[in-house]
């Protein structure tokens, strides 16, 4: 290593790596995910080594003293605590390969707490075929040798002595190749945690990137406080209550809102260990209070029902800032309107972290101070929209309808007894094999498509579902109507039309979907204070719609650009827009010289852009907008339509029917794009079980 250099390339061998792992010198950092390859894949890795194929380099971080304890203590690996004088080397790249090789070389059983342990002694070498394989039962121990025996100094001689001369040659060849296999190791030293994480992310761009929560955990870890462990303890309590485990990111969002007033990536990464220690207790209590509140008042019976996980952080912010007190009637009324409008408007589907911070300051802080709140969250939803939703589609609107149905306290079709919405029943809500009102077999028999529409779903207990699974609705509902004295009340609790002329008595599926869609849509209007469809809004107050749309476009652009390029994203804005913006700001200073010297944020610079500037920004950074907008040509066309439509209003120009229709269509098109469902609600587990995933 050159003097002053931070990196050194070392030529080691597999035996040395196994030795350092066994001594507790080589460790998995806390921001790495626990993951060992499936045994068949490990066998292929050993095969590559035996054939002397390259298996890639390994990056290690020699940790400064204050980060010596920043490793995961994976109990199943049974690694000793290293001596104080020994350096700790954290694996930044190659964790899966090293750990997989180690568990096979030591013959360990591993499960990481997930199911039945897997025995890595089953990875063997066939001396006759000279190939590695996984065996269930070894019937020929003089031919099939477990890999761990090649590394065990005490055991290999005994194995060797029992082999034939030919097999001894192959045994010694295999042992020599495995133990002496050259490994290229890059060691990084004199690097702080934040820089080590950056290195990790850079070299793992082809694999799984670290989640924001992983970075917060690593950046705030100490011997006295580990956020990951705290969230595990909290989730264990929530799971015991039957709610399920909430996303770790939700907790980090809440802490950032409480401490920094914002939840963006930049603010979360500024959190310190001391700040988390000082705020953990109130955050934990607020989350528990929020879960109880949402379950009792909004039908969020399990975590999977929440329209947006971030909503838990938002409501918890209110509870935390209330200093442990219950919400006031005014605050409860605000949360009611905010919850339903945010869900049915798909408020947090894009630029989520930015919108959260905006809403905290715009609405939640005002609710805390007792100010009157004008909730500017329009709900642009039509009955036809909910009629098209499939049971297995990931959608905030779908989840909100589940909450709505749960809040209606559904009753048993047979006897009007309460359907117990426990975790067992609710957790099956995405299963399109269950809970059909028009049974799937009935629809298939009658060649009716769209079996799995959300509106064909009801909270039906398992025994009832099995009983009706082949019957027509008219048959089983007729039977239940005779035995259930409160049949009408039961049907109302499911928002199903049970009148004498209803579709269920005629087995008319299409009409049933429309009838139930109407009842649910009316309930949505009641909860949100009225659903204003975009077309209706455009007729009554088009200027307000256009102003709101431009505001949402700016929030969307700020969020996407910040996420991709960081806080200093303005350099990614086309030069001519930068110049025009600079001139417009200078004009502002001429009119208002007292504003000079004030720091202009990127989000504020966007306020000086016009409609076609937005289009140009999107086109210039198409890589990050492609998935949302799909076509450059279509995007430009709709922004041109929007510009002409907007200018007709702003400059009081006459507008022909074509400009009007194209403008309204483009307003809706852009509105739908920037409101698209972007968040990933699939929780990442600590242990990645899909053996097709790329290595970290």
Q: In angstroms, rounded to a whole number, what is the distance separating the alpha carbons of residues 464 and 430?
A: 18
Together in a domain, 524 and 476: yes
Radius of gyration of the chain (CA): 31
Q: Is residue 482 part of a domain?
A: yes
Condensed to tens digits (0 to 9), the pLDDT of residues 528-573 reads 987 655 656 666 678 888 888 898 899 999 988 988 888 889 999 9
Q: Is the pLDDT of residue 242 over 80?
A: yes
Q: Is residue 83 part of a domain?
A: yes
CB under 8 A, 24+ apart: contacts of 603-609: 603/354, 603/554, 603/555, 603/558, 605/570, 605/581, 606/554, 606/557, 606/558, 607/554, 608/580, 608/581, 608/584, 609/554, 609/577, 609/580, 609/581
Q: Is the pLDDT of residue 683 over 70?
A: no
Condensed to tens digits (0 to 9), the pLDDT of residues 649-664 reads 776 667 777 777 778 7
Together in a domain, 248 and 303: yes
State the pLDDT at residue 281: 96
Q: E strand or H helix at 379, and its extent?
A: none
Condensed to tens digits (0 to 9), the pLDDT of residues 276-310 reads 999 999 999 999 999 999 999 999 999 999 999 99
What is the SS3 assignment for 595?
helix
Cα atoms in the Cβ-side hemisphere of radius 13 Å centred on 641:
21
Together in a domain, 169 and 22: yes
Backbone phi, psi, residue 694, to 5°: -70, 155
State the pLDDT at residue 139: 78
Q: What is the mean pLDDT of residues 605-629?
A: 91
What's the mean per-residue pLDDT of the chain?
Answer: 85
Contact indicator for 297, 340 with CB cutoff of 8 Å: no
Together in a domain, 513 and 453: yes
Q: Is residue 688 part of a domain?
A: no
Q: Work out the percent of the chain whose per-residue pLDDT is above 70.
A: 89
State the pLDDT at residue 685: 26
More confident residue, 282 or 34: 282
Together in a domain, 397 and 454: yes
Parallel/antiparallel/unpaired status of strands 123-126 and 144-146: antiparallel
Residue 461: pLDDT band with limits 50, 70, 90: confident
Residue 318's domain comprises 212-374
Domain boundary among 168, 203, 238: 203
Q: What is the mean pLDDT of residues 254-265?
A: 94
Q: In angstroms, rounded to a whole number, what is the distance separating the alpha carbons of residues 635 and 641?
A: 10
Q: Is residue 534 part of a domain?
A: no
Condensed to tens digits (0 to 9), the pLDDT of residues 586-609 reads 888 888 787 776 778 888 889 899
Residue 209: pLDDT band with limits 50, 70, 90: low
Q: Work out the percent of the chain whose per-residue pLDDT is above 90.
A: 47
State the pLDDT at residue 532: 57
Q: Is the pLDDT of residue 691 over 50?
A: no
Count of all residues that appear for the chain in the document: 696
State the pLDDT at residue 450: 86
State the pLDDT at residue 677: 31
CA nearest neighbour of 627 among 676, 668, 665: 676
Instruction: Return the minimum-mean-pLDDT range out of 111-115, 480-484, 618-622.
Output: 111-115
Together in a domain, 335 and 229: yes
Domain boundary among 493, 528, 563: 528
Together in a domain, 390 and 251: no
Q: In angstroms, rounded to a whole number, what is the distance separating the alpha carbons of residues 214 and 208?
A: 12
Parallel/antiparallel/unpaired status of strands 118-119 and 89-93: unpaired
Together in a domain, 234 and 190: no
Q: What is the mean pLDDT of residues 57-63?
A: 89
More confident residue, 32 or 556: 556
**Domain tally, the chain:** 4
Together in a domain, 226 and 349: yes
What is the SS3 assignment for 436?
strand
DSSP state of 389: -
Q: Is residue 399 part of a domain?
A: yes
Q: In angstroms, rounded to a whole number, what is the distance separating the alpha carbons of residues 649 and 350?
A: 28
Q: Is residue 684 part of a domain?
A: no
State the pLDDT at residue 684: 28
Domain boundary among 489, 505, 528: 528
State the pLDDT at residue 167: 93
Q: Is the pLDDT of residue 694 over 60?
A: no
CA nearest neighbour of 463 among 406, 509, 420, 403: 420
Q: Is residue 682 part of a domain?
A: no
Backbone phi, psi, residue 350, to 5°: -140, 150
Q: In angstroms, rounded to a whole number, what is the distance separating the alpha carbons of residues 628 and 655?
A: 30
Together in a domain, 285 and 315: yes
Q: What is the mean pLDDT of residues 163-176?
A: 93
Q: What separation in angstroms does the CA of 59 have from each of 77, 91, 278, 425?
A: 20, 6, 35, 47
State the pLDDT at residue 374: 84
More confident residue, 323 or 677: 323
Together in a domain, 367 and 516: no
Q: E strand or H helix at 85, and its extent?
A: none
DSSP state of 418: B
Condensed to tens digits (0 to 9), the pLDDT of residues 375-414 reads 888 887 888 889 999 988 888 999 999 999 999 999 999 9
Q: Is the pLDDT of residue 8 over 90?
A: no
Residue 696: pLDDT band with limits 50, 70, 90: very low
State the pLDDT at residue 537: 66
Q: Is residue 533 part of a domain?
A: no
Together in a domain, 282 and 329: yes
State the pLDDT at residue 599: 75
State the pLDDT at residue 454: 93
More confident residue, 277 or 84: 277
Burial class, 690, CB count within 10 angstroms (exposed 0-12 / middle 13-18 / buried 19+): exposed
The DSSP result for 516-581, as a single string, is HHHHHHHHHHHHHT----HHHHHHH-HHHHHHHHHHHHHHHHHHHHHHHH-TTGGGGS-HHHHHHH
């Amino acid at each position: 290593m050159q003097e002053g250099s931070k990196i050194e390339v070392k030529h080691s061998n597999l035996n040395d790596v196994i030795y350092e792992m066994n001594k507790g010198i080589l460790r998995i950092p806390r921001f790495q995910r626990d993951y060992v390859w499936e045994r068949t894949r490990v066998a292929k890795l050993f095969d590559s080594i035996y054939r002397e194929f390259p298996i890639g380099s390994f990056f290690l971080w020699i940790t400064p003293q204050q980060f010596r304890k920043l490793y995961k203590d994976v109990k199943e690996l049974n690694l000793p605590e290293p001596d104080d004088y020994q350096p700790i080397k954290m694996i930044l790249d190659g964790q899966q390969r090293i750990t997989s090789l180690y568990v096979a070389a030591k013959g360990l059983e591993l499960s990481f707490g997930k199911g039945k342990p897997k025995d890595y002694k089953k990875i063997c070498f066939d001396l006759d075929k000279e190939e590695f394989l996984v065996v269930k039962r070894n019937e020929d121990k003089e031919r099939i040798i477990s890999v761990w025996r090649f590394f065990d100094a005490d055991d290999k001689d005994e194995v060797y002595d029992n082999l034939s001369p030919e097999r001894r040659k192959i045994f010694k060849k295999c042992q020599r190749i495995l133990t002496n296999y050259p490994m290229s190791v890059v060691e990084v030293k004199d690097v702080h945690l934040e820089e080590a994480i950056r290195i990790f992310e850079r070299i793992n761009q082809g694999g799984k990137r670290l989640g924001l929560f992983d970075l917060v955990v690593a950046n705030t870890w100490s011997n006295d406080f580990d956020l990951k462990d705290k969230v595990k303890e909290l989730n264990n309590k929530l799971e015991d209550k039957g709610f399920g485990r909430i996303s770790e990111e939700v907790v980090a969002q809440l802490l950032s809102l409480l401490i920094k007033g914002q939840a963006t990536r930049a603010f979360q990464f500024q959190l310190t260990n001391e700040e988390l220690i000082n705020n953990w207790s109130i955050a934990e209590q607020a989350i528990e209070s929020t879960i109880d509140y949402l379950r009792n008042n909004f039908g969020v019976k399990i975590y999977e029902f929440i329209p947006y996980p971030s909503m838990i952080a938002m409501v918890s912010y209110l509870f935390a800032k209330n200093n442990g007190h219950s919400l006031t009637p005014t605050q409860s009324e605000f949360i009611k309107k905010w919850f339903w409008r945010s869900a049915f408007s798909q408020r947090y589907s894009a630029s989520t972290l930015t919108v959260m911070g905006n809403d905290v300051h715009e609405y939640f802080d005002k609710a805390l101070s007792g100010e009157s709140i004008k909730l500017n969250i329009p709900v642009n939803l039509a009955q036809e929209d909910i009629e098209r939703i499939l049971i297995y589609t990931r959608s905030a609107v779908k989840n909100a309808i589940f909450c709505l149905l749960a809040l209606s306290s559904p009753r048993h079709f047979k006897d009007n007894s309460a359907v117990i919405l426990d975790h067992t029943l609710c957790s099956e809500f995405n299963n399109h094999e269950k809970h059909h009102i028009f049974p799937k077999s009935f629809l298939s028999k009658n060649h009716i498509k769209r079996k799995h529409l959300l509106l064909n779903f009801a909270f039906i207990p398992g025994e009832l579902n099995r009983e009706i699974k082949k019957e027509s609705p008219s048959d089983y509902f007729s039977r239940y109507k005779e035995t259930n004295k409160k049949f009408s009340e039961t049907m109302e609790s499911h928002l199903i039309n049970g009148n004498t002329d209803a579709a269920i008595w005629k087995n008319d599926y299409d009409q049933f979907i429309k009838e139930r869609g109407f009842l649910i849509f009316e309930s949505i209007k009641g909860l949100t204070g009225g659903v204003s469809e975009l077309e209706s809004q455009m007729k009554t107050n088009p200027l307000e719609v256009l102003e709101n749309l431009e505001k949402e476009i700016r929030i969307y652009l700020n969020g996407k650009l910040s996420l991709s390029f960081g806080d200093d994203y303005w350099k990614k804005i086309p030069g001519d827009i930068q110049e025009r913006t600079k001139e417009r700001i200078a004009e502002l200073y001429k009119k208002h010289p007292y504003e000079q010297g004030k720091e202009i944020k990127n989000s504020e610079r966007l306020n000086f852009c016009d409609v076609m500037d937005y289009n140009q920004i999107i086109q210039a950074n198409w890589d990050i907008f492609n998935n949302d907008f799909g076509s450059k040509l279509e995007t430009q066309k709709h922004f041109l339509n929007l510009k002409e439509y907007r200018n007709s209003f702003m400059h009081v120009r006459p507008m022909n029917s074509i400009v009007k229709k194209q403008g309204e269509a483009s307003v809706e098109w852009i509105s739908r794009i920037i409101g698209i469902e972007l968040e990933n609600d699939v929780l990442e587990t600590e242990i990645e079980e899909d053996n097709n995933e790329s290595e970290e």
